[in-house]
Structure 1
Amino acid sequence: MSSDESSSIERITAGGAAAALDRLAGTDLVERGCVTIISVEAIRKRSGDRWPRKRDAVWAYLGRKFDEHLAYQDIRHRVDETDFLIAMTSEEGVAAQAVSLKILEEALLFFLGVADPADMKIRAVSAINGEELACTDIDLTRVTDHRTAPAVEVIAVSACQAAVDPAEERRRNPISFVTASGQNLRIDFSLEEAVSLRHKVTAALRIEPTVTHIASGRTIPARAFAKLSDDDIAFIDRASLDYAALFAGAGDTPQPPLILPLSFRTLSTRKGRQGLIGTEGLPPQRVKTGVMVELIDVDRGTPEARLLEVTGLVGQLCKGVLVRLQPGRDAVGPAKGARLQGLTISAVDLGNSDTQIAAHMLTIASQARGRAPVLMIHGLASEGYLDVAEVAGFTHASLRGARSALAQPAA
């Protein structure tokens, strides 16, 4: 498929169309690039006169693959004899398209023995008018770049960095400042590729700021930010937003969303929320469609009513709100009651030994199960932890990001 803007109209002729389209009504799945049409026309052509006898087997096989790769709340519906509509609620944009492509690829391999790119017919649904679907072609190269091998690759990270002006990246990473108490601190930024553990596709890119005390070289973890002043925290958040603007991309191009760690203290103020949508290079519409905010400092001292209010206000400005948990007896307690897209945990907060980390992962996943659609662990030290995270019950994970290759070492 080419990456141009060619479009087509598809009419649903199979039964049950109204119910399928009613489920899509009122959602933003189409706008988010989560609704696709895959076609097994290649199988019908190769089958020739045998197609009427073979199609039931093809439909049954696809049904099994839908059950294997899609969640129960995802939508799947046969459009006609060869085309199938897939709407994913559990993944975003390119990640959802990559799952659809994987289903089609497995069907072609099973029935034809080969998945020729010319036969991989997949389109994105751009509009729904009654029982007619307006569709646009999907660039297969762009989608396959966001599918990962069993060992996580940083394809999406590399692609994003390649599109950034190196001089501008060096200007924003690293960045130093003096705190209210007179300490010299440096902020280094890195990118992490957040992978869907179930679908093995890149679901998001996560920006990770690392704050270091320059004189001692000591890293200040996010859990220690409470010792910094509101102005210091606001500076870190502004620097994070400025860096995120480099990787925002075009608002009309489907791509993994950015996960941006920011402080609850900053976003609880009107000025802080204005900064979220007022950063140069991050227009409000792009924030709304492509940025997920991870609140990093919600703890037992955070008033529940205030958390509900702030997450509601921030959720109106961005794609979704996540809350970072701290390990403990009731890790999820501080986030109870808030309507969140996800809960996260930083691997660096779980201990040093493999035993400690694995034990905390199992405990936190058990406590958080069912509390939010996404349960993510980020900053894992090696790929070996990915299997542990999946078994524990995490939905997404990322490996510790190396500092951008574009950035020069700080003095």
Structure 2
Amino acid sequence: MASSLVADGLEARPSVERFSTHELGPTLERFQTSGLLEEGRINLIGLNAIAERLGDRWEGRQEQIYHHVERTLTRHLEGGGFFQRVSPTDYLVVQPGLGKFSAQVSCLLYLRELLSHFLGGAAPEAADVMEVTSLSGGRIFAAGIDPDYAAAAARTEPPVLPLEPDELPTPWNPFVAADGRTLRVSCQLEPVFELRTFAQIGFRIARRVLLMPGEIELSPQELRNLTTADIEKVDLATIARGVSRLRSEQGNAKQPTLFLPVSYTTLSSQRGRGPLIARFKEATRGVEKGLICEINDIEGVPGSALAAATVLIKPFCVIVVGKLREAPGRSPEDLRGVRLQGVAFEAGMHPLDHGEFTAWAERAVVNARAVTRSVIIHGLSGPEFLGLAGLAGASHASLGARRAQAPSLAASGA
């Protein structure tokens, strides 16, 4: 139901369909039942004034503008709110900690800051903030706000009751990338085993980033080509989706630990670390011994820079691991001296013949152990390869989600 726009004599303003985005329908509809929409606490910030002023230059500068807008919103929200670009010129903004009019005033301040940056200021009518009234089926309806009334009402507005962490909407998934494509993060849980005893020590979140519609998986190179802001969204969506899946599949049973993938890009970004650390703290509630952070996309990163990123995340997990995209064909010397507590890599399409697999695993493990003691192989094709991975010198391994099951001693070769 649309929120009521009549309060203390304020005239109701007509709701208009602002934009339709069917790919984002499932994401937006989560707010229909959150209570935030009913209370009028979800807003749209419009960049129309910037687009109109730039004219033909708008298209060529879009990515630069989106980057600045998202950096500005991230700074203001500080992990306590959410935003999503839902059209070429519209951002949906949710601030669970603010009342209706305080949220409107905040959005007006954010937009005026953006207009000042891009246009050197703008007339009051350029402050395009609207209250969202409906988010049904990907169709976004909104009504204009009265800035003067909002400013007066916000001064006497009572504080809102904070939502419980479980009630907060998850980071955007799917989301519209800077280049206009709609991306969705899909996660599966892979059981992780300690290879001396074959005891399961928890799960690893294995993710895929899919192009919508059609669910076409992005390649590693395509993922690297995403903007910093989009990579941050992928990381936040991965943790939120993975933790949600863990709770739905495992119930209230705490796991010993959970392997969380994090991109080096996000970890090294000052704006990305705040929301990331907030998600780490939330994920900690579901494990007994702590989190294991796997830093992804580390190929080519200078050792000193990676070491600095490792130090920053270490207080929020028990172990920090460097994650390679594939089995190392040589010693990863860039990781020497970084003080990582392990190196992980994807098994990929590893050999299925046991003899060939053993030779492949031994080469990879020897190369990895040149810089660390613990070596983790992810995504093995079946339980029978766990024992072989252990004989090759790996300390831990995970089973690919489609083949995930506890190993028997016979299957493991023990």
- What TM-score comes out, normalization by structure 1 length? 0.49
* Bigger radius of gyration among the two: 2
- What TM-score comes out, normalization by structure 2 length? 0.49
